[in-house]
Structure formats: structure tokens, C-alpha cells
Amino acid sequence: MTRRCYITVSIPYVNAEPHLGYALELVEADALARFHRQSGAEVRLLGGTDDHALKNVLAAEAAGVATSALVDRNAGRFQHLGPDLGVAFDDFLRTSSDPRHRPGVERLWRRTAEKGDFYRRRYEGDYCVGCEQFYAPADLVDGRCPEHETPTEWVAEDNWFFRLSRYSAELEDLLATGRLRIEPEAYAGEALAFVRAGLDDISVSRSRIRARGWGIPVPDDDDQVVYVWWDALGNYVTALDYGAGDGADAYRRWWVESDERIHVIGKGILRFHAIYWPALLLSAGEPLPTAIFVHPYLTVGGRKISKSAGNGVDPVAVAAHHGVDALRWWLLADVPRAADADFTDARLVDRFDDDLANGLGNLASRVTGMLHRFRDGRPPIVAAPSPEVAVLSEVAAAYDRFDLRGVTLVIRRLVEEANRHIESAAPWVLARREREGDATAGRELDVVLRSLWGTLHQLRALVQPLLPDVAARLAEALEPGPEGALPPSRPLLPRLGQP
């Protein structure tokens, strides 16, 4: 039976234009989705925007425009970011305008209410608008939000609360046993430690007045709007017509019956996805995600890239200047699994030139050039060593542990091994001996060329999920024409930096 895999990215606030840090998440999720498709699975990749945040309201007020106008403008930019980065979403949901969303949020709310997991009480506390989250005094750093390094706001109001504490034991068991898998493991330990420190019930609504009326009204309580995180997390199932009820085909197919339900998120929102969201689903009686894949932050000058910090790097501008392939490769090849990575244009250029222009591209030119020079562009039809099956297992294991950088290291290693093979086999020497009448040398040359041609095909397959455009160009360079000859050899990946 065909495997089924549902992959989602977190949905961003749209108070400002997208930055490079979010591009990392989209590219990683796209590579993961493409790999699973390549492996024969049915895949659905979901993107979207979180429109109902208070920070969107405040940004609109500062700009002197209606909230809906600012949200529409910026959400459109996020929606176009996917295609601009070569990301192939199967679906995209905007929480303020997609007709599937509100009914789904209301259904989730009512299922939890039926469970008796809501109660209303007055609450006072330090609130960070950037995080849309209350913080305990002990969590603050010099009285500031630990995430945004900005002063918090003291908020006092009546809210609906969710009995998160009721699910402490189940959440601890899920995380401790790995039934809810979090990769890399360091983040799993972080989530488990948070649960074991004790869970307090959480506020899941906001005053309609303070929200300026922007948001989904709490069912049967028009004085409150649904907390933006409750609203936003629901997108993973509302996009599957969860609001239509148990008979919704998309929800059954992609959530209930999927072999894998994977969330790709940044480390700053781990608590919401590894603790709050599973607890919400447990309360509603719905299946849980199977895995949460977490990525670190991108920084500039050592500071986290963020909209609020004003140090955002425009990923569309970077892609337009250096090319989508160069940007995708840097994001996938230079960012560690669990450590932040500092971005500079120079690092992007160096990584592309070292790995792709001087590495894969140069290898492809060398091999196709020798095929033209020694065999009129026709790959020999002889038995040759097959590409290593072990490599496929190694790559599959890297994807499974969400190690995209590990995949790029395998590709770089294969390129280096192929170049060493060329140097040790010396095809030019075999060709000279063949011209001198040595038939054995000719047969050896055929095997070497056929083996290198096969290695390039394997590299094309390995590159395809990461750099689909490069893989397409490589496939074209390796495909014999009607007369059996390869296209003329040409530079596949020119250098970005100065020669």
C-alpha cells in the first residue's frame, strides 16, 4: 500500500514582509516533501498565514490602514514566497479569509468544551504581543520577553482557560516514549523538561475589545475572540475540511489515515506544537501528529533575524540576485540541525561555488566532456558497477532524522569520490592506449565512463528534492538524443564569485 505523508509548515504573522528565517523553513519542508514523493509516497504540503494576531492589528494602526488591508497585502507576499523559492505547496490557507478555517476552529472549540476542558476566570500577567503569549515573571530576562528582548505589557482581563494541566501525564508519556517524535533530540528533551516542570492551565481567548474585534469569536461568547495560537494551530486540520465533520474526506485521508503527520517549525514555537497542540487534540479526541521537525534560527551579525528586530533579509531579493538554486543550497547545506547559522552573501557565494560550481557542475562537465571526446557523446552500453545502494539508505536515514545538511554532505562526498575515481582511472591514458591498439584499455575505458555516467544519474536523483531546477538541467545533460548522443557539453553551474 502506498505510504501517505502530510507535511505542514508553521503559519507566520503577516505584520511585515517575509524574511530569510522563514524561507529556511519553507525550503526544508519542500525538500522533505519532494523526497517522500520521490520515494513513492503520496504527499500533501500545506502552507498558510496567521492573520488574526494582535500584532497585525497594531501594525495596521501604526500604518494608518485597515487591518484587513494590511493583512491582505502582506499575506499575498507570503503566499508568493513559496513559488519564488521553488517551493511547491499543495494547499495554502489564510486564517482570516479561507472559508474552511472558521468552521474548523469552532468545531475544535466545541469538542473541547464538551470535554469540560474550558473554564473562565480573570487573569493578570506579563504579555508579549510579539509572541502572543503570557510569561511568568521567572521566564523574563531583565523584565523583557526572552524571545524578542522587548518589554512586556501588563494585561488584566477575563479569559477562557484550557485545562492543560489535565494532560500532563499523557504528554509526558508521549514525549518520553517517542510516540510523539521530535527531531533533533535536543528539542525533544527541552519539551519533556517543560512538561516535567509542571503545566499550568493556559488562557485560550482574548477580550474582543483589546483585539479590536479582529479574530474568530468564541462560540457562544461574543465578548471574547479565540486566542490566536489556538486559532492558528487549528489550520493543520481546518485546511482538511475538519469543520465539515467526521465525514470530511480530506481530513480522514490526510490526518486520520496518514502514515506520517509532520510539522516543520522553528525552535521558538516548540512549546506550542509539542505541548499545547497535542493537548488540544487529546481533548478533542483527534489523532496527534507523528513527528515535529525543528530547525534553528538564522542570524545576521549574531542576532536572530526577525520582523520585530528590523534586521530581516529579503529572501526574494537574495534569490533574484544570486539565483534560487544558490539560496536553497545555502539554506540546506550550511544550516546545522540544532545550532543557529549566521547569514552573509559571501558565505552563500562560497558555498555555491565550492559545492556546486566547482563540485557537482565541474564533475558533470568533466564526465560529459570525456564522453564526447572519447565516445562521440554516446554512453557505453556495458556492465559497470552500480551506484551504491548503501547511499540510498544513508540519505533516507538523514531525511528521517531531519538532517538536510547531512544529505548535502553525502552529495559532496559522492562528487569527491567520483573525481578521485577519474584521477585514479585516468580515462585519458586508457583512451591513448586504446588508440595505440590496446583493446583491453578500450574495454576498461567503457566501464569507467559508464560508471561515472551512472554516478551522475545517482547524483541527479539525490539533488532533485533539494534543487529541482539543477536536477532538471543535469537530467537534460545526461539524456541521449534521438541518435544516441548526449547534448553538447556546457557549463552546468557557473560560478557566482569572481574566477
Domains, the chain: 4-319 (3.40.50.620), 345-478 (1.10.730.10)
Q: Which amino acid is at 191?
A: A
Buried b (16+ CB within 10 A) or exposed e, 210-223: ebeebbbbbeeeee
Tens-digit pLDDT string for the chain (499 aa): 899 999 999 999 898 889 999 999 999 999 999 999 999 999 999 999 999 988 888 888 889 999 999 999 999 999 999 999 999 999 999 999 999 999 999 999 999 999 999 999 987 767 766 556 666 666 766 667 666 566 777 777 889 999 999 999 999 999 999 999 999 999 999 999 999 999 999 999 988 988 888 899 999 999 999 999 999 999 999 999 999 987 789 999 999 999 999 999 999 999 999 999 999 999 999 999 999 999 999 999 988 887 666 677 999 999 999 999 999 999 999 999 999 999 999 999 999 999 999 999 999 999 999 999 999 999 999 987 776 778 999 999 999 999 999 999 999 999 999 999 999 999 999 999 999 999 999 999 999 999 999 999 999 999 999 999 999 999 999 999 888 899 998 889 999 976 5
Burial class (CB in 10 A: 0-12, 13-18, 19+), 166: middle
CA atoms within 13 A on the CB side of 180: 27
> Strand order in 4-9's β-sheet?
91-94, 42-49, 4-9, 260-266, 291-295, 181-183
Q: Residue 133: what pLDDT? A: 65
Is residue 278 within 8 Å of residue 288, measured between CB atoms?
Answer: yes
- ∠ CA 9-13-18, nearest 5°, is 80
Measured CA to CA, the distance from residue 134 to residue 276 in angstroms comes to 14
489: which 3 cell numbers?
A: 557539453
Q: Residue 308: what pLDDT? A: 61
Measured CA to CA, the distance from residue 172 to residue 180 in angstroms comes to 10
Which among 39, 38, 45 is positioned nearest to 6, based on CA atoms? 45
Q: What pTM did the predictor assign?
A: 0.92
Buried b (16+ CB within 10 A) or exposed e, 2-15: eebbbbbbbbbbbb
Is residue 180 within 8 Å of residue 289, measured between CB atoms?
Answer: yes
Q: Residue 138: what pLDDT? A: 66
Task: Please say whether the dihedral angle defined by the alpha carbons of residues 226, 228, 231 and 234, taken in this order, is positive or negative.
Answer: negative
